[in-house]
Amino acid sequence: MFTKCIAVELGHKGIRVNSVNPGAVKTDIGRDDTVGQSGVIPWYEKFGKLYPVGRHGVGDDIANAVLYLASNESSFITGSVLVADGGHLAANMSLTHNFVGKVALVTGSSSGIGAATAILFAKSGANVVVTGRNATKVSEVAKQCLNVSPKGLKALEVVADVTRDEDLVRLVDTTVQTFSKIDILVNNVGTDESAPIWSTDYMDIFKKTCKINLDSVVFLTHICVKHLEKTKGNIVNISAVSSTQTLPQYSAYCMSKSALDMFTKCIAVELGHKGIRVNSVNPGAVDTITKDLTHDYDVYNVNIYAKLYPVGRYGVPQDIANTVLYLASNESSFITGTGLVSDGGHLAANVNISQLQ
């Protein structure tokens, strides 16, 4: 923006102002340190495989662009941006993480946080498995994954019910048959039905909640270990701030998330020697289509979080997807058994959920 504004201001003085926006360019930065030797150079090489031009940038590429903009040949150009990125933006590449060659299985990925996570993995170059109970929604998300994939990778669509063990076995078998491996397992699927303890249907809701939020995670993790061990992969479980805060009429939900947090820690210890990392994300209030916002009190609650949260807004699925990809990336290789709170400051501000009901 500064370039454009100053180009307008300085035009009458005969001064042209332009900018160059490089993609991934290999430079000498970090070459003499350990991080640079082990991390930076391979990173650029991975970009080379993703870029439409088939390579990462080098200093001369950007120098050539600068000299062109400074030459008389560009005398009619001012206030412009010359993108020298090897096709980075055109290929819809993620600027943050690179999961090229990785296989990510995300449960409950036909909507909400799961869909946002699957799409972001696809945008970052991964082969993605989209799964849910609704075939139409699964296909819709798979199409979005295809649209953002730098290499046009087609997502694997698997319609499955996580409450059925046979469906989970089929989900894993189909994934391995298609991609030959699993690198990342995101246990995202969940439900949050409410009922007071005295309700006649409390036990039914309790069993259903635990079956979806906890049992499915435990079983899917159990059958994926042998595959994740081969890839030195990792697991990310989607928990909630309600794992540490009480919420009237949601005891089943709170207990299931609290148990999930402990499961994350226990399994991180057990699987560490196999090279598998296990972490969880604890979101605050996130506006997703999995939550029915047709009731007035629900709309009110979502909006009031924006006033209560230190960040000044409630969460969106992309916020949690960003957190998941960080935990699944090499940048978090020293993190395991952790619950990463992504809550807009919910817990820090002591936001009392029960008062919003």
264-286 pLDDT, tens digit each: 999 999 999 999 999 999 988 88
Question: Would the pLDDT of 7 be above 80?
Answer: no
Higher pLDDT, 142 or 248: 142
More confident residue, 228 or 75: 228
> Catalytic one among 253, 309, 314, 326?
253
**Which comes out higher in pLDDT, residue 43 or 272?**
272
76-81 long-range Cβ contacts below 8 angstroms, 24+ apart: 77/16, 77/18, 78/7, 78/11, 78/16, 78/17, 78/18, 79/3, 79/4, 79/7, 79/8, 79/17, 79/18, 80/18, 80/19, 81/3, 81/18, 81/19, 81/20, 81/21
Give how far Cα 90 sits from Cα of 50, 151, 174, 236, Å: 11, 11, 32, 30
Residue 117, H or E segment? helix 112-123
**Listed ranges 187-191, 294-298, 301-305; the one with the highest mean pLDDT:** 187-191
pLDDT of residue 42: 60
Lowest pLDDT segment from 53-67, 283-297, 333-347: 283-297
What whole-number distance in Å separates Cα of residue 135 and Cα of residue 156?
12
Residues 6+ apart with CB under 8 A from 109: 115, 117, 118, 128, 129, 130, 131, 132, 138, 141, 186, 188
Q: What is the mean pLDDT of residues 96-113?
A: 92
Give the length of the chain. Answer: 357
For the stretch 140-158, pLDDT in tens is: 999 999 999 999 999 999 9
297 catalytic? Reply is no
First to last CA, the chain: 44
Provide CB contacts within 8 A for 274, sequence distance 6+: 225, 228, 229
Domains of the chain plus CATH, in order, are 2-84 (3.40.50.720), 103-356 (3.40.50.720)
